[in-house]
Structure 1
Amino acid sequence: MTTESDLVAPQAARKVIIAADPWCPHNCVAGSDREGYIVDIAREAFAMAGIEVEYINMSWARALQQARDGYIDGVVGALPGDAPDFIFPEEAAGHTEIALYTHPDSTWHYSGIDSLEGLNLLAINGYAYSPELDAYIDRHRDDPKKVWILSGPAPLGRAIGLLGRHRSDVFPEDRFVMEWQLAQHSNAVALRRAVIIHKSPVYIAFSPARSQSMELAERLSQGTKVLRDSGRIKQILASYGLSWPD
C-alpha cells in the first residue's frame, strides 16, 4: 500500500498553480475559508510530495486558455469533455451530476435532445455538460435564439437571474453546484430541476504545454488514493455536506 512517506518528492518543494471560476462546492472562492473540496484534496495530496498549491479564480474559458498556453499548471473541476487535450490524473477528485433547470413555473420535460427545439438554452462559455448536449451547443452556438453563451466572472448567478425573469428557458448545471448556490442565496429563484442528463467524474486537469504535467497528475493520483484509503476524503466531503461512494 502506498503511504505518505512514499510520495515525498526528492527535489525541493515546488508550487503548482491551478485555476477556475468558483464552482462551489467543487471549487469555491480562492483565499476563502472554504475553497472547495477538490482544492482541499489537492492541497493535502500535493503536500505529501512537498508541493505547494496556489489556487486562483478567473473565468473558466480563460483558465482553460491559460493552462493550454502553459501559463498555469492546470484547471480545477474539469470533465473529460472540457479539455480532451489536457493531462488527467487516474484518480478523480469527485463527481458531477449535470441537470437541466427551468423556471419553477415551467412544465417542460426532457425527452432527448430534440425536445430542446423551440427553447432557448443558456450555456457557460467553455463548459462541458454531456457529449450529446455539448454537440448540440456546438451546432447552435452562433444562433442566440437557440443557445445563449454566457461569459464573465459570475455566469451562474446571471443564468439563475435570466431564467427567473423568463429571459431564457433551460440551463444545464451540476446539481451540487446549483443546490449550494441556492442555499447560499436565499433571494435567488428556486429553479426547477427537470432532469439529470449526465454523471461524470470530475478532475484537476493539467496543461498539455508543460513538461511536468504528467508527473503532477501522477503525484495527485497517488496522494488522492492515500487520502481515499485513509478515509480522509470522506471527512473533507462531509465538511461540505457531501457524501458519495468511493
Structure 2
Amino acid sequence: MVDIAREIFAEAGYEFDYQNFGWARSLQLAREQLIDGVVGALKGDAPDFIFPETALGEARITLYTHPQSQWVYDGIDTLQGKTLLVINGYSYSPELDRYISEYSDDPERIWILSGPAPLARALQLLDRERTDVFVEDSAVMSWFLAQNTSIAAPRNAGLAYEAPLFIAFPPENPDAAELANLLDSGLARLTASGRLAVILSAYWLSDPDL
C-alpha cells in the first residue's frame, strides 16, 4: 500500500514520507494537521475522514491464540471467558468494535495496547499466555512474522471480518479531497499500465488481493 501511494504521489510532484506511529496517535496527529493522512484505515476507524473511492488493500481481521490453544472463533459469543488483546484506536469489525467498547473497562475481557510497535508486544504477551486472544489483520501478521523469524508464530483461530483498506485524510486538511482523488486516478493509471501488478508482485500479491 505504501509503495503504491509513494509512486502515485511522486508522479504528481508530492514527497511521500511514511512514518510509523501508534494508531490512536496517528489519527490525532492527522486531525491536528501535523500529518496529512493515515495509511491502512478502515472506514470505521475515522468515519468523518475523506476516503478515496477505490481501496488500496483488503483487511482480513483474524483472531490469534497461543500455538497450543484449541479455541476457535465462531462469533462474538465464543469470546466469553477469554481475554481479548486489542490495539488502541483500531477498528476491527462492527461486531468486535461494539464488544470492545462495551467491555473496555473490564480487564478480564479486554486488554488495550498503546504506543509504537504494539504487534511485537502483543505476540510476546500471547506467547507467555498472559492473554488468550489477539486480533490482527492476517496480511500484517504474515509480513511481521516474515520480517521477525525469531518470533514464534501464533495460531490462527479464525477469520472475524473482511473489509477494504484505504489511505484516508482528515476533514481538517484542506487538500483532503484532492489527495483522495489523486489516489483514485493514480491507481487507475497504474492498473492500466501494468505497473500495479509489478509493485504487488514484490509482496507475492495480485490485483484482487491488493
Indicate the larger mover: 118-127 or 50-59.
50-59
Helix, strand or coil at the partner of 1:53: coil
Shift of 1:235: 1.2
Helix, strand or coil at the partner of 2:19: strand
Helix, strand or coil at the partner of 2:135: strand
Aligned to 2:115: 152
Indicate the larger mover: 104-113 or 49-58.
49-58
- 1:101 touches 1:172 (CA, 8 Å); kept in 2? yes
Which amino acid in structure 1 is aligned with residue 65 of structure 2?
Answer: T
Task: Show CA shifts across 1:47-99 (max 9, x none).
Answer: 23222212222211111001112222100111111111100011211112111
Task: Show CA shifts across 1:140-184 (max 9, x none).
Answer: 111111100001111000111111111000011111111122222
Distance 1:127 1:40 in 2: 22
Aligned to 1:196: 159
- 2:74 touches 2:158 (CA, 8 Å); kept in 1? no
Larger relative contact order (Cα-Cα within 8 Å, sequence gap ≥ 6): 2
Which amino acid in structure 2 is aligned with residue 115 of structure 1?
Answer: T
Q: TM-score, structure 1 length as denominator?
A: 0.82
Distance 1:110 1:150 in 2: 21
Aligned to 1:121: 84
Which amino acid in structure 2 is aligned with residue 102 of structure 1?
Answer: T
- What aligned pairs does 1:1-150 form with structure 2 within 5 A after superposition? 38-150=1-113
- 2:73 touches 2:159 (CA, 8 Å); kept in 1? no
Indicate the larger mover: 183-192 or 62-71.
183-192
Shift of 1:244: 4.4
- 1:119 touches 1:169 (CA, 8 Å); kept in 2? yes
Moved over 6 A (4+): none
1:243 aligns with 2:206: yes
- 2:85 touches 2:131 (CA, 8 Å); kept in 1? yes
State how many pairs are aligned: 209
- What aligned pairs does 1:159-178 form with structure 2 within 5 A after superposition? 159-178=122-141
Which amino acid in structure 1 is aligned with residue 102 of structure 2?
Answer: R
- 1:121 touches 1:148 (CA, 8 Å); kept in 2? yes
Q: TM-score, structure 2 length as denominator?
A: 0.95
Aligned to 1:207: 170
Distance 2:150 2:123 in 1: 11
Percent of paired sites with the same residue: 58
- 2:196 touches 2:207 (CA, 8 Å); kept in 1? no
Shift of 1:41: 0.8
Alpha-carbon RMSD: 1.3
